[in-house]
């Protein structure tokens, strides 16, 4: 009896193992084909990052909007962390001139590489939204943001079909990237106003990114350029973000 049990167990186990292996292999191929693998899929925690990213891309397939709030819910106190005033004379001059010389460089896989002024960005149809900023540290605050949807700018410059990521460079040297699902999400803004006023310096003037379905650190401040690419490999160590190289997930939808 115990003999046949052992054999049956062995066969069942072997079948289960091969089914699991085949399913995982098929899942990996499908995930790659449908863009469900984040740039920081490698390493010890890569499996977790990939499962979360893939699950969210499926869950958010219909591009639902992040929660929006009433005006009376806006936080009195919205902390400003990391860079609160970029170093260097260039930024100081920009501030003094009201960012008249500031340009947003848009290049990479686009039909019309461009340099946009702040006035040009403000001339596009804007979107205003009251959302909650969730910091990875644990605090959160609500603010109203006004800006041009990133999709408007990307459509204006005409992105090429092979585009997969939008990379952002910041005045303070930080860089990060978004996939196309978040880049084209209606709430993803190049925001130039906060709570009805020009974006404060501490919050990223003249233009910061709002990507409402991810944690605070993806909402880059002091944007200076964006580059459309079809690969994450050519930036830094290829993990898609400076934050990812410091141990923070590239995808922060959590």
Identified binder of another protein from the candidate list 18, 22, 73, 97, rule CB under 8 A: 73
Identified binder of another protein from the candidate list 4, 112, 161, 247, rule CB under 8 A: 247
**Residue 56 engages another protein in binding (rule: CB under 8 A):** yes
**Residue 77 engages another protein in binding (rule: CB under 8 A):** yes
CB of 69 to another protein, least distance (A): 7
Residues 6+ apart with CB under 8 A from 157: 106, 110, 111, 112, 113, 114
Q: Which of residues 124-143 bind another protein (CB under 8 A)?
A: 132, 134-142
Residue placing its CB nearer to another protein in the complex, 77 or 96: 77
Backbone torsions φ then ψ of 62, nearest 5 degrees:
-85, 10
Contact 196, 128 (CB under 8 A): no
**Residue 253 engages another protein in binding (rule: CB under 8 A):** yes
Backbone torsions φ then ψ of 47, nearest 5 degrees:
-65, -40
**Residue 65 engages another protein in binding (rule: CB under 8 A):** yes
Cα–Cα dist 216/254, whole Å: 11
Identified binder of another protein from the candidate list 31, 42, 78, 107, rule CB under 8 A: 78
Residue placing its CB nearer to another protein in the complex, 65 or 90: 65
Contact 87, 70 (CB under 8 A): no
Q: Which of residues 168-227 bind another protein (CB under 8 A)?
A: 212-215
Cα–Cα dist 208/194, whole Å: 10
Partners of 208 in beta bridges: 191
Residue placing its CB nearer to another protein in the complex, 91 or 217: 217
**Residue 47 engages another protein in binding (rule: CB under 8 A):** yes
Contact 198, 205 (CB under 8 A): yes
Three-state SS string over 151-165 comes to HHHHHHHCECCCCCE
Residue placing its CB nearer to another protein in the complex, 140 or 225: 140
**Residue 158 engages another protein in binding (rule: CB under 8 A):** no
**Residue 37 engages another protein in binding (rule: CB under 8 A):** no
Residues 6+ apart with CB under 8 A from 113: 105, 106, 107, 157
CB of 188 to another protein, least distance (A): 12
Contact 219, 211 (CB under 8 A): yes
**Residue 246 engages another protein in binding (rule: CB under 8 A):** yes
Residues at the site binding another protein, with contacts judged by CB under 8 A:
44-45, 47-49, 51-52, 56, 59-60, 64-67, 69, 73, 75-79, 132, 134-142, 212-215, 246-249, 253-254
């Amino acid at each position: 009896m115990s003999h046949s049990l052992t054999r049956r167990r062995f066969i069942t186990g072997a079948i289960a193992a091969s089914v699991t292996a085949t399913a995982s292999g098929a899942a990996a191929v499908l995930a790659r084909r449908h863009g469900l693998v984040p740039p920081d899929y490698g390493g010890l925690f890569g499996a977790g990052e990939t499962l979360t990213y893939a699950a969210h891309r499926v869950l958010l397939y219909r591009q639902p909007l992040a929660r929006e709030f009433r005006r009376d819910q806006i936080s009195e106190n919205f902390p400003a962390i990391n860079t609160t005033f970029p170093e260097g004379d260039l930024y100081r001059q920009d501030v003094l001139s009201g960012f008249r010389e500031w340009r947003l460089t848009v290049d990479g896989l686009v039909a019309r590489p461009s340099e946009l002024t702040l006035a040009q960005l403000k001339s596009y149809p804007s979107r205003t939204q009251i959302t909650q900023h969730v910091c990875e540290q644990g605090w959160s605050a609500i603010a109203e943001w006004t800006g041009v949807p990133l999709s408007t700018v990307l459509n204006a410059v005409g992105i090429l079909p092979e585009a997969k990521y939008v990379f952002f460079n910041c005045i303070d040297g930080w860089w990060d990237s978004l996939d196309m699902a978040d880049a084209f999400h209606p709430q993803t803004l190049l925001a130039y106003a906060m709570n009805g006023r020009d974006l404060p310096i501490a919050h990223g003037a003249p233009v910061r990114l709002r990507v409402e379905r991810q944690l605070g650190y993806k909402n880059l401040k002091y944007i200076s350029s964006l580059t459309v690419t079809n690969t994450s490999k050519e930036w830094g160590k290829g993990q898609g973000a400076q934050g990812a190289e410091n141990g923070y997930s590239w995808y922060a939808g959590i």
